A and B are shown apart, each in its own frame.
Chain A
Amino acid sequence: MTQALIAKTKLADLVSFLASCGKVVGPVPLGHGQFKFAEVSSLAEMALDYIPTILPPKKYFMPQYETLLRYDGADGQQMQAVVEVEELVLFGVHTCDLAGIQCLNVVFSDRPRDLHYMIRKNHITLIGLECSDYCDGFASCAMLRNHLPKGGYDLFFSELSDGYFVDIKTHKGEQLVEESGLFEPVSDAAREQLQELRRSKKQIFRSEVPIRYQDIPRLFDETFDSDVWTRIGEKCLSCGNCTNVCPTCY
């Protein structure tokens, strides 16, 4: 099975099932229109219509603090490399954040491999969620062609009228579908609804800035000396915290 359906009425049961198996993290409201990824135990705690969270889900792949090594000072600084891991399901990740995680995967799986990242990644199950419309007025996902799913997940949910069309990408995702017992085979009507959703998105998601995708590297290159960077640089404290909020920085 590479695709499945789940009824909207069963989504709460799915989250409860996942929470009974281990830690589940999803988008939760913080108030004032802000959201964050945090541990949840039920669907009701989540806000699936969230805008990008304050910190991207990258924080579970690259924690802001982590123990890399343990050593005993009395033992001549003999270091023991360690990885802090926990089984985790990341629920409701949008395609923009999935794209960010895919960028990180490239960097850290490139030789020499970062074993800390690679091992932790294998303990995280990613469940993506498709945006049917823009989440806010600052999105630039269409310009970067990340408004559509391009892999990097175990399961990917697209909302239909009564349920979710689920793309199953990995063996881990397939196991989850089978063990929960909450999914059903895809119907022709569901396939048609998914195609309609994608047609509709073609009309909604247009490149937010009037430039061509393939020109972006050249444009950055040619505007290296622009006053824009001077103005932004004047505000910069060189604290490096921007790398925490960026989904692709490391």
Chain B
Amino acid sequence: MTIPASLYAPRPCRLLETSDLTPQEKLFRLQLADDTSLGHQPGQFIQLSLPGLTEAPISIASSPTRGPVFELGVRRAGRLTSALHQLAPGATIGIRGPFGRPFQLDALRSGPLLLIAGGCGLAPLRSLIQYCQDRPEEFGAVHILYGARSPADLMFKDDLAVWQRSDRLDCRTTVDRTPAASCYDGDTGLLPELLSRLDFDPTDCRAVLVGPPPMYRPVIAELRRLGLDGDRRIMLSLERQMRCGVGKCGHCSIEHLSCCSDGPVFWLEEVENLRGAL
């Protein structure tokens, strides 16, 4: 029998445009086939699918303030994402969502912001950065700190250039290593080192972290050393193997929490003492 709706039914999207971000990552500009808005908030994710292949959770890399077109930054990592990287504009892609708890914007409006990303973590954080760009009157000073393995691995280079030129944003990058012939002019070293050199007022400051698991503890330790201690000071987005997206299947469980529906954005104190969270 047919039913009017299902948690598991993807909505068709049109692929409008693709562009290379790095040798491994591409940017995909999409719009729902019925031209409606996705209705997401910064920090949420979708489940992306192609017929005959599986689904994968992908962070939404653009702000809802940019209209019905939305963007995804996707690393080529498996069968689905390899097939996705082969698609040309005009192709149809399935999505479910948006899912998950977004960045808590109300809590971020009270003071300076440290937006800290490592590797692919810049994709979800870009959604928040664009939101801050588009509504500058709602936010205080915004410091963006982005770390990658090498200059070639820096995602969203065009955006980084714009953010670095912006009067309203303070954007810094750091890489683990710089090849001899590189024209990269950012910092070299790990994110805690970059953070330690930052001049900012920790009073009422909030930090948002998105990155690979090894990034969290050293960055959190440095943030605390700099004065971001106490509740509701550090917000982070965790990456897990989300499957159902609605808190049913248990694939992304962190103790009693479902990363897909209770997260992926958490306040640090909500997950810090959960085993396997950080």
Contacts and interface: CB of A to CB of B under 8 A. Distances in A.
A78 B3 contact: no
A114 B7 contact: yes
A108 B246 CA distance: 11
Counting contact residues on chain A (CB < 8 A from B), the size range is 20 to 34
Nearest to A119: B3
Interface in B1-37: 1-12, 33
B249 interface: yes
Contacts of B4: 81
B246 A116 contact: no
B9 A76 contact: no
A79 B9 contact: yes
B201 to A, nearest CB: 40
Contacts of B3: 81-83, 115-116, 119
B94 interface: yes
A80 B8 contact: no
A82 B18 CA distance: 33
B275 interface: yes
A80 B2 CA distance: 7
A76 B1 contact: no
A81 B51 contact: no
Given A73-B51, A107-B248, A112-B7, 20 more contacts: A68-B9, A69-B6, A69-B8, A76-B33, A76-B92, A77-B12, A77-B94, A79-B94, A80-B2, A81-B5, A82-B2, A83-B1, A112-B246, A114-B248, A115-B5, A115-B7, A116-B8, A119-B1, A119-B3, A224-B275
Nearest to A116: B6
B94 A68 contact: no
Nearest to A115: B3
Given A73-B51, A77-B12, A116-B6, A82 B1 contact: yes
A107 B12 CA distance: 28
Q: Which 9 A-B pairs have the closest CB atoms?
A: A81-B6, A77-B12, A79-B9, A81-B9, A81-B3, A68-B8, A77-B92, A112-B246, A82-B2
